[in-house]
Chains A and B, each alone.
Chain A
Amino acid sequence: MKLTVAGNAKEYANGLTVAQLIELEKVETPQYVTVSINDEFVESGVFANTSLKDGDNVEFLYFMGGGR
């Protein structure tokens, strides 16, 4: 299936879950990442049992705490 992940369209294995995608994409500080699929946030508690579908648009949003 084709997913758009952080703006890049790529082929992924069917049935991939959000948790598996996070591991596959080597997401930094994975336990604190915010995920949206097709402009809806996904609760972190359900990453492991949320399967992605062909055409899904996935974004990872990261904490960035610096500034001074």
Chain B
Amino acid sequence: MAFSNEQLERYSRHIILQEVGVKGQKKLMDAKVLIIGAGGLGAPAALYLAAAGVGTIGIADADEVDLSNLQRQVIHSTPDVGKAKVLSAKESMNAINPEVTVNVYREFVNASNITDLIAGYDFVIDGTDNFPAKFLINDACVLSKKPFSHAGIIRFKGQLMTYVPGQGPCYRCVFREPPPPEAVPTCRQAGVIGAIGGIIGSLQAMETVKYIIGKGDLLTGYLLTYDALKMDFRKIKLPDVKNCAVCGENPSILQPFDYEQVACKL
């Protein structure tokens, strides 16, 4: 496929990069990425991936835009309040780049839909806000051999890691089981500074781009933590775990399952 003049201009800053070039841009345009959660993390990730020309982007979220979302979820605007988040997100993404095919899934992921949902995508971004969803995404991606980016944010802090099958630990290797409901504060209870989603969600987009173009070192085997108040980034090496319940040598988790959802709506 030859690039049109418009595409050459739109992606010129990519194409000029030695690590991207025409080849890398073609890979981006052929790639399919699923973003689960159209919020603090998903918003910047979706905008940057759409701008980058990722050919197909799926976005899953059941919620509507709320006024309290707009402090951080930069993909939605004030007139979008009350609108389905996935539709508001799609409009913003296509406004930046009409070439991108945006598939919307107005649903929350659960054990019965996640395997089918991720099947059509090359890479998954976890932009969810609760532990049951984060463990579900991990398990489903491990079991389907699907690379994904995990992230979490709270207050002035954030962290992320990248899972690629066979290249290091998964989220469950590190955290085993979700904490009991309400044991660890959520953003609604504890607050979250808007820009932290921008930073961590953009890092997720960066990992996605690197995975697609096949350049650089991914955050596999590492947890990157960021403390905005201390302005401190740390890349923590993660041990290998042989007895992980989902990715270990004798796994006990053989299919995705749902943990009880906390009655909490952000």
Chain A interfacial positions (CB closer than 8 Å to B): 6-7, 29, 31-32, 34, 36, 39-41, 59, 61-68
A22 CB, nearest partner CB in chain B, Å: 16
Chain B residue nearest to A7 (CB atoms) is B234
Q: Which residues of B contact A40 (CB under 8 A)?
A: 239
- CB under 8 Å from chain A, chain B span 162-203: 174-176, 179, 183-184, 186-187, 190, 192, 197
- The reply to whether B174 and A65 contact each other, CB–CB distance below 8 Å, is no
- The reply to whether A64 and B153 contact each other, CB–CB distance below 8 Å, is yes
- The reply to whether B223 and A67 contact each other, CB–CB distance below 8 Å, is no
| Chain A proximity mask over B45-77: 1 for CB below 8 Å, otherwise 0 | 000000000000000010100000000010000
- The reply to whether A34 and B39 contact each other, CB–CB distance below 8 Å, is no
B81 CB, nearest partner CB in chain A, Å: 16
**In the assembly, what is the distance between CA of A9 and CA of B20, in Å?**
40
Cβ-defined partner of A68 (8 Å) among B129, B157, B183, B241: B129
**In the assembly, what is the distance between CA of A31 and CA of B39, in Å?**
29
Which 10 pairs of residues, A with B, have the shortest CB-CB distance?
A: A68-B39, A64-B152, A66-B187, A68-B129, A67-B129, A67-B41, A66-B154, A66-B153, A63-B184, A32-B179
Given A36-B238, A65-B184, A67-B126, 5 more A-B residue pairs with CB atoms under 8 Å apart are A31-B183, A32-B183, A63-B184, A65-B154, A68-B37
Q: Which residues of A contact B73 (CB under 8 A)?
A: 68
- The reply to whether B37 and A6 contact each other, CB–CB distance below 8 Å, is no
Chain A residue nearest to B43 (CB atoms) is A68
Given contacts A32-B179, A68-B266, is CB(A63)–CB(B127) below 8 Å?
Answer: no
Cβ-defined partner of A67 (8 Å) among B39, B175, B176, B237: B39
Q: Which residues of A contact B40 (CB under 8 A)?
A: 66-68
**In the assembly, what is the distance between CA of A48 and CA of B158, in Å?**
29
- The reply to whether B152 and A6 contact each other, CB–CB distance below 8 Å, is no
**In the assembly, what is the distance between CA of A31 and CA of B183, in Å?**
9
Q: Which residues of A contact B37 (CB under 8 A)?
A: 67-68
**In the assembly, what is the distance between CA of A67 and CA of B159, in Å?**
10
Interface assignment of B142: CB less than 8 Å from any CB of chain A: no
Q: Which residues of B contact A6 (CB under 8 A)?
A: 234
